Structure formats: structure tokens, C-alpha cells
Amino acid sequence: MDQRVAIVTGASSGIGMQIAKNLYRNGMEVYALARRVYAMNELDDLGIHTMHLDVTDHDEIDRVVSEIVAKTGRIDVLVNNAGIGSFGSVEEVTLTEGEYEFKVNVFGLVKMIQAVLPIMRKQHSGRIINMSSMAGKIGNMLLGSWYIGSKFAVEGISDSLRQELKPFGIDVAIIEPGAIQSEWKDGAMDRMMDASGSGPYAKLARRSAAFFAISYKFAAAPRVVARAVDRAVFSRRPKTRYAIGTGAKPAMLMKRFMPDKCLDAFFEALNKYAQQVVNRETGQNR
């Protein structure tokens, strides 16, 4: 039997790199794709194939997937991990940046799926693993409207896609991480402060930054996500969702049982408390 083939996007660091390593160690031929090819030397050394890919370049997606199929004759797993976080107030984040958020997190994800589906349908088998977030279920992340909106879209697309691909033997699973150690948080907070660090939303931006600073002290390691992907890939009957990482499962339970305004109040109190902690640590009075 030919070796099973997996594609992992956003594999140049953190979660994506660990996913690629795990799949390779579990016997798969892995193609790790990212814009920063220079950051994937470690994967090359292991024997993982690395290639350049910008998921907002749809022509490049078609070329890269076609090249992989030409070399291997199959694609068994697609892990849509590439993503960014655009934070800041809806009023202040430009539409250009908001559109880019969706180009990466939603349209890039869908284009990757479109590119692999012909070969998966021909095989009558395949696994598509979409990286969502606890934010794909819980919209109470302060100044995170664009990011949350993109992850809600991933959730909805995945649910509908799961049904339309079932007749072709293709499974779809969603990974919903909480706080995970990665470069994502720093980039998201930098973009938030650039957009809303001064002006009418500055107080909320500082509060949001404090919440992330505190919560990410307890962030889980990327291997937690990679293990969830392993379960989604190798289980005979994968779950539709895997909520993992710091805070994910408790937040999901609160969302399920608490009224919306109560959940709003809880997260508001949590953000205020986080800011008080940060203020004490930095010696600020308010």
C-alpha cells in the first residue's frame, strides 16, 4: 500500500510545525507548507517535505497541490492550520485588514479544500482537519470581532461540508484550541494596539491585552493540539470537534448553559481582574 500523504498549512512554527512532526512520526508522508520556508529547516532535516505557500494566492495553491499529487498520486489528509488574528475595534480596524483576515482564515482554507477534493473523491477517502478556535463558538473575546467572525465562518462551513462530503468517504473535523503557546498571540496583540491602542477604545485594548497576558501564562503546549489532530486523522471514527487547550472546555460549557448577558458579564469581570493583576505586577495604579 502506498504511504499515506498529509498536507499541513501554516507549518513554519508552533502548532503547525508540531502537527507536521507528529504526522510524520506516525508514518505519514508530510508536506509542510508556509510562507516562511526558511523557518522550516528543522522539518527538512527530519525528512518532511517543505514548500512555499501563501494561502491568499489561489493560483499558487493550485500549483502546489498539483505538484504534490503528481509526486505522490494521492492526498489523504489536509490540515488547514494557517491563520492570523486581527484584533481591534470594528470601527478602527480597516476593511482592508478585515478582508485579509478572511482571505487567510476562511477563503484560503476553502481554496485548499477545493484543491484537494478531486483527488480525495477519486480515492473515495480523506480527512479534512480545519483549525478553528474556542472563539469559533464563544464571541466574548474583547476587540476580537474580525477574528471571531472568521472562526465562526470556519465552524459553519465545516458543519455543512461534513454532510456534503460524507457520501464520498471524506471526513471533516474541527479543532477548537484554547490558549496555546505560539507566535499567534503576539501578532494579534500587536495588531490590536496598532489599531486601537490610542483613541476611544484604548482602555478596552489595554484590558484585552492584560487578559491575554495573564491567560497565556497558562497556555498549553502545541503538542496538545497536535495530539488532537492525530486523533482526528487516525481514529476510525473521528469526532466532529476537538476542544482542547487551556480554557476551551470550561468556556464551551459556560456558553452552553449561561445566558448571553451573564456570559458577557463574566468575561467583563475576567478582563477587569486581569488588568488589575497586570497593574499590580507593573506597579501601575490603574
Q: Which residues are catalytic?
A: 147
Whether the Cβ atoms of residue 131 and residue 79 lie closer than 8 Å to each other: yes
For residue 234 the three cell numbers come to 487516525
Residue 206: CB atoms within 10 A of its CB come to 19
Alpha helices in the chain (DSSP H): 14-25, 41-46, 58-72, 95-102, 108-123, 145-165, 184-196, 202-215, 222-234, 248-257, 260-282
- Distance (Å, rounded) from C-alpha 65 to C-alpha 45? 22
C-alpha cell belonging to residue 18: 508540531
**Main-chain dihedrals φ then ψ at residue 176, nearest 5 degrees:** -120, 80
Question: Which bin fits 222, alpha (ψ -120 to 50), beta or left (φ > 0)?
Answer: alpha
Q: Cα separation of 103 and 228, whole Å? A: 25
CB 210 within 8 A of CB 197: no
* DSSP-assigned letter for residue 151: H
